[in-house]
Structure 1
């Protein structure tokens, strides 16, 4: 890493440092949009050794090669956004720099020839200070084979992604074989005579992979035996969601009226469909009406129908929603917005199963299962005289409270995946997923608009994201820089500690606006440092980068005023 600290003027390194952020308050490290971790090499070595002991050398090698390959692919996607990636060769060489930047190995280029349109690519690199070779030697000593499996996979994944064709790296020398350093060579897949011998490590078809797949199939089968299959638009595994769905499932088989409660956008109509689809009326009509979307003077005719000539504009007779739902289910959303007259007629239909069209004296029988929904407090509406008490008790026979999205955040990744699939298909685009930072923001957001807001946001993200890319934070949220203002980044000297520039700008603006002088600013910093160090002036001086005498003199001078 020291080699990189010295070359502070290299644009690639400046680009990388600007992407690396440390958030000590939240315990997160970010490289661009990807969340990273610092791990002890000894711990990684122990983990690697356990994999070898459990799976054997060959199976462990395949697993670790694929692990490295996946990491290389992600870093290649990150490198596309770096300003210094202005040529194919520059993009390729960012890979070794990222490899070194992450503390995995120091890379030195010996040869790089590329003419991808004409099917030519050849590279040779020296590796020094390989973490993987170091840990393998500690566990197994010198042997006959090259052992930097994860790093070979990383290089193959990175370059293959950059050039858009399979490139295989081989480690021809390795310190694990007693060589002075590790040496790797790269060619296009078809230019290796023994490519099949190496390609097998990149295919998850070994016994270990099959055992894992079989285990997942068993778990999935058990889960499917224990619950009904859910339709595509019913998504959720959180406890609060499953509790609401269990209540709805119990009600589905009964003719009882159901009242769905919950905030706007939580998916009340989806639940209403679920109840209908799992009832004995599933083959009959499902009819929905949003009471708040219909003008008051037309609401009764929409619900109960109208006879020709009943009012100006009624040029023909037509059935209302109740008649159209006969034998099936009627879903009334925003039922709290019903007019007093409509409330009276609705109560009569529920109690007698009979209705009269507007302007008609003929009574008609209907067999309708009612599911109502509201986002207002009907109890309070009854107290305020805005809703009939007898109708409320009739509707509230079986209430189901649907939780807001902020109370079922465990379901967000499932919903995000479903919405990406939906809108990627709709807009004929392949989207990889969302970045780690974007998912972190999705999980921390309060979602006042609930699932409807999430769905709209994901559609926007799919539209703004290029094909074969991940949805980034900027595609979803506008003006979110302040949310990550507690991050720190690498300084030009390679140290961690320079605060987010936006936060510093805000602080400076506030001090200038409040008329804080330079002398008072200096005093405030010194007093804050002394307080932070528990009154230890020496430590406070170290924090500020001044001498103990300077701090003591300034504070003493202030005490004498």
Structure 2
């Protein structure tokens, strides 16, 4: 049964004020503000005043109201997603209360409740409240004077978006009057309103915008109809060094020249090799790949050149090798620097003459194969050390293409991540909304020693941990130790809402100091538990959520600390 809650009950939800404000982080070194996983920004109210006036002067009242309402709605939905991801097992009232707290933290308005009823499971909701200290109301009245029609457009959109997000159904909020304290608004399910058409139009896309998007699509279709070089879809990157490498590869694709792809492990040499083949006149022929480093030395020759029956013990049938299978197409030799000297000799002959002999055979076979080789080994150094033939090196190094590591093309990380999200979400049957701002920050801050392969693995991990219709946050991509290090030199709000002047110590230095001082583990745990209880103002449920443990565990620890304090 739904519970009607009065003002005194609403106030009981307020112990979370200190806890939710502590989620705001300021990084002065990087110029970033974070609210959980979302990047935020501070903006002058005078700038918002100019923006509102420009929009109204340019688009008129109605279109401006629609734009600001939809912006508020999107922000409300995002706040709801953040709350549902960060707080588990909250009561319906506590879940609802987080929305006004976030809106207050964001500096928009203070909600003063008159009446509320909420029952998420049964879809019941009603609120009657007043927006006090409404920034939007203040700005509009400053521009146009007192008004009797609704002017808190962004706040209406936010309320509708947030409550719709936690209720999992559309809940419409309307401004019903202007009181001496501020705008009064009422919210309830859409079917309980008598007239909604005039309000719903503000939540729908603007016809002008739709027309512009249609024109944009038409222009894009015209562009696609123009002849242009084919860029294989898996080759992603706009950074200068990457485009330079791909430009060289495209030039090589139209010829039969041997290409040597250079780069660290995981940079995408196999993708480049496929792309060169698919852009070449041989695209309709076979593309055969072999990892020279993954095969034992006694098998690599038979894999490359084939065998005849009886060539060695166990060779009961004749079998063609990779060169024959790639005849007319492309052979990709990955990790070519791992080949034995004997295999290098036979490879050199095949490259120079286009002829091969199967192991144990007497018949010479001609093959028409375009070779693309790849290595993360410095072949010039290998030649100097005598582990790689000099003549083969010169034969392979006709057209070298150096692929940059991911740490040198960080502008491409998001595009690559989006491609992997599409790939793995389709495989897992999930709808993923994207990456949180904190997750994007984590991806761009990482050095990526494993390059694109590591990025692909990280995104796959995130997809597996994500839920349907959710965002991937930083904790799903990296272990907690890494995401903690990202918050070095972060300042927070104290209880009075002031920015703390102490800069957060790097976690490694903090641990070193504790070890140097020989702080007992039990004492350290008690210190953390006490601080968490104090931050949550005695709310043990909130403390348990903050520490990531159960309510029973925090109750036990609290009782233990309390008894120790009494005994002293």
TM-score between both structures, scaled by the size of structure 2: 0.84
Which deviates more from structure 2 when the two are superposed, residues 262-271 or residues 55-64? Answer: 55-64
Q: What secondary structure, in the 3-state scheme, does the structure 1 residue paired with 2:39 have? A: strand
Instruction: Give yes or no for contact 1:261–1:374 (8 Å, CA) kept in 2.
Output: yes
Say whether residues 1:50 and 2:51 are aligned partners: no
* Equivalent pair of 1:11/1:84 in contact (CA under 8 Å): no
1:80-119 deviation per Cα after TM superposition (whole angstroms, max 9, x unaligned): 2444861122211211121112110111111212345544
> For residues 477 and 318 of structure 2, what CA distance do their matches in structure 1 show?
48
Given that 2:334 and 2:375 are in contact with CA atoms closer than 8 Å, whether structure 1 keeps it comes out as yes
Seen in structure 2, the aligned counterparts of structure 1 residues 220 and 140 have a Cα distance that, compared at 3 Å, is farther
Quickly say closer, same or farther: Cα 1:447–1:118, change in 2 above 3 A: closer
Kept after mapping to 2: 8 A contact 1:429/1:467: yes
CA contact (8 A) 1:107 1:125 kept: yes
CA 1:304–1:84: 2 relative to 1, 3 Å: closer
- 2:288 is aligned to 287
Q: Which runs of 5+ in 2 are unaligned?
A: 1-10, 519-568
Judge conservation of contact 2:265–2:450 (CA < 8 Å) in 1. yes
**Cα distance, 1:203 vs. partner?**
1.6
Shift of 1:445: 0.7
Give the drift of 1:33.
Answer: 1.0
Q: Which whole-Å deviations, capped at 9, do the CAs of 1:130-159 have from their partners, x for residues lacking one?
A: 111111122222345211111111111100
Contact 1:59 1:206 in 2 (8 A): no
Q: Residue 10 of structure 1: CA displacement?
A: 3.5
CA 1:505–1:382: 2 relative to 1, 3 Å: closer
Deviation at 1:426, TM superposition (A): 0.9
1:360 is paired with a residue whose SS is coil
Structure 1: segments with no counterpart, 5+ residues: 1-6, 516-561
Q: Which residue pairs with 1:421 in the alignment? A: 422
Distance (Å, rounded) in 2 between the aligned partners of 1:362 and 1:458: 50
Distance 1:303 1:361 in 2: 16
Q: Matches of 1:505 and 1:360 in 2, distance apart?
A: 63
Distance 1:34 1:502, change over 3 A: same
1:489 aligns with 2:495: no
2:96 to 92, 96, 99: 92
Cα separation, partners in 2 of 1:298 and 1:118, compared to 1, 3 Å: closer
Matched residue, 2:76: 72
* Residue number in structure 2 paired with 1:471: 472
Task: Give per-residue Cα distances to partners, 1:293-336, cap 9 Å, x unaligned.
Answer: 00001111100011111112211110000000011110000111
Aligned partners of 1:82 and 1:459: how far apart in 2? 22
- Residue 17 (structure 2) aligns with: 13
CA distance in 1 between partners of 2:230 and 2:178 (Å): 53
Q: Distance in 2 between matches of 1:10 and 1:123?
A: 17
Secondary structure of the equivalent of 1:80? helix
Which deviations, in whole Å up to 9, do the C-alpha atoms of 1:328-368 show, x marking residues without a partner?
11000011111111111111111111110011111001011
Q: Which residue of 2 aligns with 1:510?
A: 513
Aligned to 1:25: 29
**Does the 8 Å contact 1:15/1:84 carry over to 2?**
no
Residues 219/153 of structure 1: CA separation in 2 closer, same or farther (3 Å cut): same
CA pair 346-507 structure 1, distance change in 2 beyond 3 A: closer
* Deviates further, 259-268 or 87-96: 87-96
1:158-197 alignment, distance < 5 Å: 158-174=162-178, 181-197=182-198
Quote the Cα distance in structure 2 between the aligned partners of 1:246 and 1:301: 35
Write the distance in 2 (CA, Å) between the matches of 1:360 and 1:367: 20
Q: Distance in 2 between matches of 1:238 and 1:213?
A: 29
Distance (whole Å) between structure 2 residues aligned to residue 82 and residue 408 of structure 1? 33
2:290 and 2:425 mapped to 1: Cα distance? 30
Contact 2:266-2:451 within 8 A present in 1 as well? yes
RMSD of aligned residue pairs (Cα, Å) = 2.4
Matches within 5 A, 1:107-506: 107-174=111-178, 181-212=182-213, 214-215=215-216, 218=219, 222=223, 225=226, 227-478=228-479, 479-480=481-482, 481-497=484-500, 499=502, 503=506, 506=509
Deviations 1:7-32 (A, max 9, x none): 99942212212211111111111111
Contact map agreement 1:8 1:14 (CA 8 A) in 2: no
In the alignment, is the contact (CA less than 8 A) between 2:132 and 2:181 conserved in 1?
A: no
Distance 1:111 1:10, change over 3 A: closer
**Normalised by the size of structure 1, how large is the TM-score?**
0.85
Aligned pairs, how many?
Answer: 507
Deviation at 1:507, TM superposition (A): 4.5
